[in-house]
Amino acid sequence: MASRSCTNLLELASGVLDIPCTPSPRTIPRVMTVPGIISDVDSYSNDDGDSDATSSVCRERKIVVANMLPLNAKKDAETKKWCFSLDEDSILLQLKDGFSSETEVVYVGSLKAEIDASEQDEVAQKLLEEFNCVPTFLPSDLQKKFYLGFCKRQLWPLFHYMLPMCPDHGDRFDRSLWQAYVSANKIYADKVMEVINPEDDCVWVHDYHLMVLPTFLRKRYYRVKLGFFLHSPFPSSEIYRTLTVRDEILRGLLNCDLIGFHTFDYARHFLSCCSRMLGLDYESKRGHIGLDYYGRTVYIKILPVGVHMGRLESALNLPSTTAKIKEIQEQFKGKKVILGIDDMDIFKGISLKLLAVEQLLQQNPELQGKIVLVQIVNPARGFGKDVQEAKNETYLTAKRINEVYGSPNYEPVILIDRPVSHHEKSAYYAMAECCIVNAVRDGMNLVPYKYIVCRQGTPHMNETLGITEDSPRTSMLVVSEFIGCSPSLSGAIRVNPWDIDAVADALNLAITMSNSEKQLRHEKHYRYVSSHDVAYWAQSFSQDLDRACQDHYSKRCWGIGLGLRFRVVSLSPNFRKLSVDHIVSAYKRTTRRAIFLDYDGTVIPQTSIIKSPSPEVLSMMNSLCKDPKNTVFIVSGRSRTSLGDWFASCENLGIAAEHGYFSRWNSTSDWETSLVSADLDWKDIVEPVMRLYTEATDGSNIESKESALVWHHQDADPDFGSCQAKELLDHLENVLANEPALVKRGQHIVEVKPQGVSKGLVAEKVLIKMVNDGTPPDFVMCIGDDRSDEDMFESILSTVSSPALPSRPEIFACTVGRKPSKAKYYLDDAVDVLKLLQGLATASNPKPRHLPHLQQFSGIGGSMEHLTIIDLYMVTSICIYRFLPVKSNQIFKCPDHTLGGTINLYRYNVLVTSRVLLLGIVLLVLIGAASSAPTTVTSKTLYGYFSNLASVFMKATTKTAVSGRPMVKFESGFTVETVFDGSKLGIEPHTVEVLPSGELLILDSANSNIYRISSSLSLYSRPKLVTGSPEGSVGHIDGKPREARMHHPKGLTVDDRGNIYIADTINMAIRKISDAGITTIAGGKLGRGGSHVDGPSEDAKFSNDFDVVYIGSSCSLLVIDRGNQAIREIQLHFDDCAYQYGSGFPLGIAMLLGAAFFGYMLALLQRRVGTIVSSQNDEVPTKPRMPSSPYQKPLKSVMPPLIPTEDEQEKQEEGFLGSLGKLLVNAWACVLEILGKKHSNYQNQSPLQQQHRHSNTWPVQDSYVIADEDEPPTIETRTPTPRKTYAFMAKDAETIQQLRQSRVFYNGWGDHQQQQHYHRHQSSTPQTFYEQSCDQTTEIVFGAVQEQDGKGEAVVIKPIDYGDPMLGHRSVSYRFNSMGYPHGY
């Protein structure tokens, strides 16, 4: 059957179906942005100020999630419509009594009936309106695999201590069933996400069917208030650890804030599993058991559920119940009724109960005919071979007992295997002399509670039956030790259901017990049951959940982990991870540093088998100790012999051994002993006691020190070792009460040491000595992982606060691991500690960045004629040292003694990109400056040298480094640098986007803010708030950017105009941020998540999981609607997409310049290759030139040609880099001249002249005079050059004209374009266009401008002065735009 599980129920409830004459149904409000502003009320509220929507938002709301809804479903045979009614016996419905009347309860779960896909929308609408229920419609195949498969065939047997030892006894793990379980939990979670307001609502998940649902909710909402209650047993760790997906289920439960169990045994088993499988420790916090899980405290609640007193008492007052009681009295007159009510499954122990009755009748023949066991069998909740076998065995045993001990008028065992109404069960409860619950394993089982309440009766029932109020009330219970209600019923007779004789004896005792004792037991039970009913249970759980969530918003949260291993890290704002960049920055700006380091668990991992320091650790310690600004101490509990031998190579390292009992300042100084009493006689008392516990605890050992004794239990069983450590601690404290010794418990240790010895005293001693020596510290760092290190943190904070210090130093107290500590910072493990120490060691020994001999060449921009080969070689050597990657520990030798002889380049492997660029510029400037030098042997040698150097350099930059792991290649030349650290600013970057201006947008989804930051990022950049608020307010409010609100947006994109589009997923809306403010362009109605509705923006619907992408080519916004598995498109305004046609650099001109550049490079390469190939160096004879006129001066080149002519003599041999340098120098001069003259002439020319101007790059002659008798040289006019055909112009003329008009419109100068006197005509070939010639314009094709004086005596030819302001009045134009491109194309 097709499922409609993703149906948007809130949309159905919002009345968007537009059914005429139908009032808008009530909806479940989701988001209240700020007090008084409700985001989903606008569409549903009416003129009445007391509308339901407005009032309901202010109510507290609980979302109860369970496998089945508390509803009964039945389809009417005539109307074919579904009819629903509340299941009054459901505990989910009864728990509402524990909440206040103002609390709204929403139920999420499945129906007990299968609903056809075509009816699901209608049913969902009806259930929401009438019962406040949100159904999850699972496909039938998924439902079977989920409930009947994984839940009933794998989880349920395992939680009841049944292992699949063989195929006949339980099913083996099936991965497909597990996947169905996860899929079903995901569907339930999606339904919760549709209706939840994560800031205010509480979610309460019930039972083992939904144990991974908390992971999905926590992944979406980090601070959701989430509780879970397990109604079944939780097995011991030995049983649970056999489950293949044990970690995933444990982590799912740990994503809750509060986990409830019926008994301490179940909670203890869960805690043991967390300890043994996840390594989590728990402790009692003010009466509440808490687990620290990545900074979050997960609380454990132990409280058995109760019964609904009102429901039972009202059933007893029914006339039908009274009638049934009278019927039972008559039926079993003169007999004592023993009652059993159980489900038909293998764990209820029905057959064992029947065997006990048989044993009772056999041992006590006088009871035959006087007792009757009435066994009511509820329908089985599961199906399988085990259930059928249990049912057959029950019937066979009952039949045998009745045949042996019965008679025609008497049956010792009566089986009622049919649906029994509530009032009928109440009647049997009221008339039973004894009730027996003989389950071999059960979660809670409320049958004993119901029996006690019914035996108490009601005034109305007593009056009807003629029972006086003074008559004593009695009851007797025989309960199994393995059910949840057993610990709370202290007056019941507890039995082992497997011991048939013991159960028979217990039944006999219950029947024969005196009425007075029965009355006392009954009164005790009734007081407890009546005061701990279901309302008390719900209220207590709700209060504890609120208490567990009270610090949600006082901590910083972020998610880690993938899939079902996801968890949320939650830490105090003042307790944060120590950043290496942050501490290195403080390290560099300080000069008097004190560094204290613990050893085990800090420098060396606790789990490491090798306890000696590695060579890397010794190298880092040496680097830190050799810095004269540092005072470094290792403060450890280890012996001085071990520490002294391990750190013998660190000469300047201070060591404090055995928690400071022994200390020395460096390797040459003597060990100093603490000033405390040297009386160590107490060791003779401690050692025998520790040896006793060592023999009794497998995996433990004793470490003997000179001043202390340590008992280790790291390798022992976690639970047993912890228990033994507590016992040893108490034992030693008692025997050492009058001795000068102190007993302390650490991480997997119990240590006894002299009084007055602590790590804190060591830190205090070192700091005071630095002050007395006149070097008060301005930097103090202390790192440790144990409880003993907390003394150092405390001592440092108190010492630096003393007035003896002139100024307070920068303090970095850091603990290893996320745990409560007096330190301000933390690091995850010893690996992070080593990374931090490596950063400090690198800062103490910085790589050389500036060589003094490079400064003498700082003025090298002059002529290269003054530099010798040796000088250039030394500069090049320095450049190689600065820029080329060198292997670790490579020795680089410089030929000049002034460079210091030998340079040790330690680990200098990273080639910085900026240095590559700088080296290229230096080489080009050197070569370009030398290009004008005369052709000498020296210059040729230099060119060849630099060419070879460039080849070596290019090869060096392409090498790759291979890491220690095989098949992994790392390419050199890349570095990772933190350019923005949001942890110091309270910003949590989610995604970034680049604006057209180059600025970066940072989306802080966690705090619902958007920041803008300049593209030149640095650690000190301060972002500017675009929208949202610094406090991170949430909601859905449009308007001014600083006043608008969003709700944890998850994506953003930017169009060509710089408008920002936000994927406000929780509000299911797309927001636009422009200069005018913030508006909503699509969605925004908080319907029940994720229906796929297209149409106008105000009617469109999205899911609560989507992202947006801007597509400039189609001027649209693509919406990746993940929740609906669809891609939606929103057409944007065309103005927002036309930015690419703005006033940027014209594409045509860029193409022409690029073509010209590459043409020149091709010609230069051809000429260079020809020169290399030629084996003749003889001088090429020049072509004969035309004879100069007698009046003509010799030509003098003002600017050399950009491309040499073919007849030019090759004067010198130049390298490739030399040619490239000359090219750049000459090209730059041309560009400056062109741009400068163009700007100066533009203002003085008419629009017509501006159309035809061009820059004269040809050689210009000096002025000369033509004699009167001679004619001046003629000036040829050239025909216009046809335009070149491009691929994008291969269209008809009409299309091209439309393209031009559109671009004129986008550029905003269309009117001005039409006013210009610029004419074109079209040739017969449509692809070719020509410029129309103008007779009134004098066009200079080549040469100088000729002028004749007023008398006509001579013609003066002058070079063109581009700066002449009168040039614009001479009707002279220049062929710059001969191709016919208009300006601004």
Q: Report pLDDT digits (tens) over 1019-1050.
A: 445 677 777 755 544 556 677 776 677 777 88
CA 374 to chain CA centroid, Å, is: 59
Judge residue 609's burial from the number of C-beta atoms within 10 Å of its C-beta, 0-12 exposed, 13-18 middle, 19 or more buried: exposed
Interatomic CA distance for residues 270 and 1020, integer angstroms: 47
**Is the model more confident about 377 or about 922?**
377
Beta carbons within 8 Å of 1008's beta carbon, 6+ residues apart: 1028, 1029, 1032, 1033, 1034, 1045, 1046, 1047, 1048, 1049
- The one-letter code for the residue type at 241 is R
**Which residue, chain included where needed, has tokens 């299911």?**
1068
Q: What is the pLDDT of residue 573?
A: 77
Beta carbons within 8 Å of 138's beta carbon, 6+ residues apart: 3, 5, 110, 146, 184, 187
Query: Nearest Cα to 1222, choosing from 1172, 1168, 1149?
Result: 1168
- The confidence band for 571, taking pLDDT boundaries of 50, 70 and 90, is confident
Interatomic CA distance for residues 839 and 584, integer angstroms: 7
CB atoms within 10 A of CB 1233: 15
Question: pLDDT, tens digit, for every residue of 604-658?
Answer: 998 888 889 999 999 999 999 999 999 999 999 888 899 999 999 999 999 999 8
CB atoms within 10 A of CB 716: 20
Q: What is the pLDDT of residue 1383?
A: 37
Asked if 1082 and 1045 count as a contact pair (C-beta separation under 8 A), the reply is no
Interatomic CA distance for residues 1162 and 1110, integer angstroms: 40
Interatomic CA distance for residues 449 and 525, integer angstroms: 8
Highest mean pLDDT among 1060-1069, 1129-1138, 1159-1168, 1216-1225: 1060-1069
CA angle 147, 152, 158 (to 5 degrees): 135
Beta carbons within 8 Å of 720's beta carbon, 6+ residues apart: 697
Interatomic CA distance for residues 129 and 674, integer angstroms: 78
Q: What does DSSP assign to residue 1101?
A: B
Interatomic CA distance for residues 92 and 68, integer angstroms: 9
CA angle 698, 702, 707 (to 5 degrees): 165
Q: Where are the beta strands (DSSP E) in 294-361?
A: 296-302, 336-343
Cα dist from 407 to 332, 395, 411, 1163, whole Å: 14, 18, 7, 123
pLDDT, average across residues 46-56: 37
What's the start-to-end Cα distance of the chain, in Å?
A: 62
**Which residue, chain included where needed, has tokens 């009928």?**
424
Highest mean pLDDT among 26-30, 905-909, 1126-1130, 1143-1147: 1126-1130
- The confidence band for 911, taking pLDDT boundaries of 50, 70 and 90, is very low
Work out whether strand 32-34 and strand 37-38 pair parallel, antiparallel, or are unpaired: antiparallel
Beta carbons within 8 Å of 862's beta carbon, 6+ residues apart: 929
Model confidence at 333: pLDDT above 60? yes
Share of the chain above pLDDT 70, in %: 66
**Which residue, chain included where needed, has tokens 């009614």?**
85
**Which residue, chain included where needed, has tokens 């109960």?**
353
Asked if 1034 and 1047 count as a contact pair (C-beta separation under 8 A), the reply is yes
Interatomic CA distance for residues 1273 and 1266, integer angstroms: 9
| Tokens standing for residue 1064 | 């406000």
**Is the model more confident about 1381 or about 308?**
308
Using a cut of 0.95, tell me whether the model's pTM lies above it: no
**Which residue, chain included where needed, has tokens 């949100």?**
134
| Tokens standing for residue 786 | 């144990």
Question: What mean pLDDT value characterizes the chain?
Answer: 74
**Is the model more confident about 930 or about 439?**
439
Q: What is the pLDDT of residue 1267?
A: 43
Phi, psi of 947 (to 5 degrees): -65, -45
CB atoms within 10 A of CB 745: 16
Question: pLDDT, tens digit, for every residue of 1174-1217?
Answer: 544 444 444 444 444 444 444 444 444 444 444 444 444 455 55
Interatomic CA distance for residues 194 and 1087, integer angstroms: 8
Interatomic CA distance for residues 142 and 149, integer angstroms: 9
Cα dist from 1194 to 251, 1261, 1264, whole Å: 93, 9, 10
| Tokens standing for residue 557 | 């949260």
Query: Nearest Cα to 211, choosing from 198, 238, 194, 229?
Result: 229
Q: Is 397 helix (H, G, I), strand (E, B) or coil?
A: helix
| Tokens standing for residue 228 | 């879970």
Asked if 1085 and 40 count as a contact pair (C-beta separation under 8 A), the reply is yes
Q: What is the pLDDT of residue 1232?
A: 67
Question: pLDDT, tens digit, for every residue of 730-780?
Answer: 899 888 888 888 888 877 889 898 887 888 889 999 999 999 888 899 999
| Tokens standing for residue 876 | 């090049």
H helices of 845-1001, in order, are: 869-883, 913-930, 937-956
Q: What is the pLDDT of residue 92?
A: 94
Interatomic CA distance for residues 1309 and 187, integer angstroms: 58
Work out whether strand 282-285 and strand 288-293 pair parallel, antiparallel, or are unpaired: antiparallel
Q: What is the pLDDT of residue 1022?
A: 64
CB atoms within 10 A of CB 985: 14
Q: What is the pLDDT of residue 1309?
A: 41
Interatomic CA distance for residues 436 and 493, integer angstroms: 9
Q: What is the pLDDT of residue 1231?
A: 63
Asked if 830 and 816 count as a contact pair (C-beta separation under 8 A), the reply is yes
Interatomic CA distance for residues 931 and 928, integer angstroms: 5
Q: Which helix (H) or strand (E) holds 672?
A: strand 672-673
Interatomic CA distance for residues 736 and 743, integer angstroms: 8
Interatomic CA distance for residues 713 and 700, integer angstroms: 4
| Tokens standing for residue 995 | 């604006």
Question: pLDDT, tens digit, for every residue of 112-126?
Answer: 899 999 999 999 999
Q: Is 789 helix (H, G, I), strand (E, B) or coil?
A: helix
- The confidence band for 402, taking pLDDT boundaries of 50, 70 and 90, is very high
CB atoms within 10 A of CB 941: 12
Work out whether strand 1077-1083 and strand 1069-1074 pair parallel, antiparallel, or are unpaired: antiparallel
Taken in order 1110, 1112, 1116, 1121, the sign of the CA dihedral is: negative
| Tokens standing for residue 658 | 């055995």
Q: What is the pLDDT of residue 1312?
A: 41
Asked if 19 and 1136 count as a contact pair (C-beta separation under 8 A), the reply is no
Query: Nearest Cα to 745, choosing from 720, 768, 722?
Result: 722
